[in-house]
Chain A
Amino acid sequence: MLFPTVEFALFFLAVLLVAWSLHRWNSTHKLFLLAASYAFYGFWNWTYVPLLFGISLASGLVAQRIQASGSPRPRKLWLTLGVVICLATLGYYKYTTFFLTTILNLWAHVARPPKVRIPEPLLPLGVSFFVFHAISLMMDAYRGKLKQRVRLSDSLLYVAFFPQLIAGPILRASNFLPQLRAPRNPNAIRLNRALLLIVAGLFKKVVISNLLATRLVEQVFAAPQTFSRGDVLLAIYGYAAQIYCDFSGYTDIAIGCAMLLSYRFPRNFNAPYTAADPQDFWRRWHISLSSWLRDYLYIPLGGSRGSAARTCVNLMITMLLGGLWHGAAWTFVIWGALHGFYLIVHRLWSGIPWTPLVRFRQTTVWRWMARLLLFNAVCLGWVFFRSPSFAIAFTVLRRLAVPGAITLLSVPVAMAVIAGLAGQFQPLRWRKALEFELGSWPAMARGAAFATAIFTIELLGPSGVAPFIYFRF
């Protein structure tokens, strides 16, 4: 079930009530949350619940074996086995058709390819996310980051916990498992922050993202050759706002819901379009994924410990695979390659020791120039990310050279683009002031304000519910 629906609201209210009723009995509380999480996942398709259970169980068992093994060799063997199982599962469901058709198409350039029956499995919802959770559990066990022995029940809940199950944020076992051990503290609920996150998330997703999708982005990317420069540029910037609001909106709701259950999820977005360099961008965009890739892929590859050339290779491999994680299509790989390129260029640029340049890079003028350059570079990547094919992507880019009137700009569209992009520059103190102000209100009044905000969002939102973009992963 999708977050911005009455079904989820009723489900979550029921879970909140029962979970807190059971908070004194931590094991029962967690068992209930596990059952609720499987029910949440099964609402989409019950036949894939065993897969989720299987991955969770396998990773939990492997993590236990790793912890139980004294010497490095069996530990490494167990880790390898566990990672292979997880990646094989992900590869089968997500990449089989892609890789086989790619091989056959390459073969077709040389000779007639053989007739091969290509498996076409249905992509399980959130498979990319829960497989990464499973790998994190085993890696953290291997690296000794889990201070206590992994409990199977905790590992099951860690992988399947419903607020983050289908679109993140990607939790780290070393951060979340200790939370599961401790009973919930009924006097430590970060209520105001949770309510603000849920309201902000719903507004970003239901109002801004949906509006931009239906009134601007979908129209241009459906048939870009019918639009000219102004509309195309507006749609590209609009998509930048749409995907940010869609994805950060979802994770805000996830974090807020977890907070109401007294669990802490990591922040997943931190005003990414305010970044002035690609490295900073990836410290602000989908933070849980970028840090996962850094810790479990980039650093094991060698990170920046080797030569400059080796570092560039490691960066590119990490970003290519990061792109592929987003989708089984070459457009996503190119998107990843672009970001790999940006990171490499930034590394080389930052390393130029010429003093006037070093001074210039510290100026405010450069900072704003860099923000503008980076934002447009990121938007170039979004063109490939959004386009269903290279033909569409290149058509979109070609249309930037075609003059013509802007036909898709309206007051709602303009407001949505501005809110989605410029909203990231709002000072942190505003949010803290709002949280502080809310804290001084009586509890029932806060509930009434929360309801009024939800009511307003429902009025402003479109009819029907569009799925989150990141559901596809």
Chain B
Amino acid sequence: MRAKKYNSLSQLAAVMAGFAVTILLLESGALLTWADRLDVGPARSGAVRVTAALHKALQPLGVEQVRKESLGGLDRLGWTDDPARLLAAREKSRLSASGSNSPCTVAAHAPSPAVPKTAAPVVTGVPRLTALKPLPPAAPGEMRVVALVGDSMMAVGLSDVLLRQTATNKNLRIVKAFRSGTGLARPDVFDWMEEYPAMIGDEKPDAVIVAIGANDGQGFVEDGKTLTFGSDAWVKVYQQRTTDFLNLLTQNGAHVAWVGLPPMKAGAYNDRAAEINRIAYTVVSQNPLATWWNPQPYIGDEAGGFRELETSPDGKTTRIRAADGIHLSDEGAALLAPALIGWLNPGPPPITTAQVAPQETPAVQASRHHRGARGRSARP
């Protein structure tokens, strides 16, 4: 019997109907989550209303339980890439294996009271030249654990270069705790307060390098109210989230280097990045264990604006920003790496503030970097 290759429009319509009914039954909860995660605006409001109504109507049928059970099963198998879910599944398995009857909960992390919650007023501008506060010298033979934390500003370019340049350093152990597409503005998409402890597991970093905020130039919903980016209410909430996150990073005495957002190519986006930087600088300045570090002198132009290409003193031209005008290229990240790695390796003789502060022009520093990148590995 020959296979019937072609179908009619009415059959297509029936297939689409069957598809729509089944997908709504199986995924009404997931669709609501998707709607919640949209950028704040009229589209999101409409999508949330529709999907919430659908979810409410379909939930009593219990079909979406299939999804929950399936996800739970996959989490137990270690299939998920969500660190908090993976940790929760492992904890649940451990408790089941030990026969414990106590309810499985992932301990919600309470922010350290290291910094008072009273918000300081946000600065009107950030300093161009900033120095990284030197780390206490490491004891001989001591392994320093360093966490690389952030969104794609860490994941793309910067983490790769830092990993490569510290690969031969036996006194450093790098813990990767970054995830593209995340931020502090939307914990409904990725909650750093829950995910960071899961990402670092049992590690207790001595030092943390943070590059985050590129996705935070957006509004969000807080306590049912939509807060527009940059409004007073938005700033207040975002500042608090940044404070809580910083307290989490420094909770075990870890020192934090918070890398500011670099200048961005698109004007409107650059303005938002500048606002994020001002808030982050305000918060970080309040924490004695943390330093906000401005990458502008290294990868911006003389006016502190966006620069895509770098010409070294020997005339070599390289691209320091990715084609999207946002992320760093490997060459761009390599301009920042010496200062950050220098901060991690205070080793004898002790590094003074003058050695880590950008006293020289970026061109001279780039020249130093180019020479170093051709073979010398960082000394412990």
Contacts and interface: CB of A to CB of B under 8 A. Distances in A.
Contacts of A454: 23
18 contacts: A16-B12, A16-B16, A108-B314, A188-B6, A189-B8, A189-B11, A192-B7, A222-B160, A223-B167, A226-B163, A388-B329, A435-B3, A446-B18, A447-B22, A450-B18, A451-B18, A455-B27, A463-B81
A178 interface: no
Interface string A160-202: 0000000000000000000000000011111111010000000
A105 B15 contact: no
Interface in A205-231: 214-215, 222-223, 225-226
Given A113-B315, A214-B81, A447-B19, A118 B26 contact: no
Interface of A: 6, 13, 16, 20, 23, 97, 100-101, 104-105, 107-108, 112-113, 115, 118, 120, 122-123, 186-193, 195, 214-215, 222-223, 225-226, 260, 388-389, 410, 412, 432, 435-436, 439, 442-448, 450-452, 454-455, 458-460, 462-464, 472
Given A187-B9, A450-B15, A464-B180, 4 more contacts: A186-B9, A412-B79, A454-B23, A460-B79
A195 B11 CA distance: 13
B6 A389 contact: no
Nearest to A328: B323
A448 B21 contact: yes
Contacts of B21: 444, 447-448, 451
B149 to A, nearest CB: 16
A416 B70 CA distance: 19
A135 B76 CA distance: 53
A115 B16 CA distance: 60
B82 A226 contact: no
Contact of A122 (B4, B6, B325): B325
Nearest to A466: B180
A6 B7 contact: no
Contacts of A101: 309, 317-319
B364 interface: no
A169 B183 CA distance: 35
Contacts of B10: 443
A458 B323 CA distance: 30
A122 to B, nearest CB: 6
Closest 8 CB pairs of A and B: A447-B18, A108-B315, A443-B14, A444-B18, A451-B22, A223-B163, A186-B9, A447-B19
A233 to B, nearest CB: 19
Contacts of B15: 191, 195, 443-444, 446-447, 450
Nearest to B306: A120
Contacts, number: 161
Interface in B40-91: 67, 70-71, 74, 78-82
A13 B16 contact: yes
Contacts of A23: 9
A187 B14 contact: no
B17 A459 contact: no
B22 A452 contact: yes
Interface of B: 3-12, 14-23, 26-27, 30-31, 34, 67, 70-71, 74, 78-82, 159-160, 163-164, 167-168, 179-181, 190, 265, 308-309, 311, 314-319, 323-325, 329-330
Given A435-B3, A452-B22, A459-B71, A97 B16 contact: no
B330 A389 contact: yes
Contact of A6 (B31, B80, B163, B325): B31
Contact of B23 (A191, A215, A455): A455
Contacts of B180: 464
A77 B164 CA distance: 53
A6 B315 contact: no
A459 B70 contact: yes
A460 B74 contact: yes
A225 B316 contact: no
A97 B6 contact: no
Contacts of A225: 164, 167-168
A104 B5 contact: no
A460 B70 CA distance: 10
Given A460-B74, A460-B79, A463-B82, A20 B12 contact: yes
A89 to B, nearest CB: 16
A462 B80 CA distance: 7
A191 B12 contact: yes
Contacts of A435: 3
Given A101-B318, A463-B82, A445 B160 contact: no
B143 to A, nearest CB: 15
Nearest to B70: A459
Contacts of B159: 222
Contacts of A447: 14-22
B65 to A, nearest CB: 13
B18 A122 contact: no
A97 B329 CA distance: 14
Nearest to B5: A190
A186 B315 CA distance: 63
A140 B162 CA distance: 51
A455 B7 contact: no
A461 B261 CA distance: 30
A204 B219 CA distance: 34
A187 B4 CA distance: 12
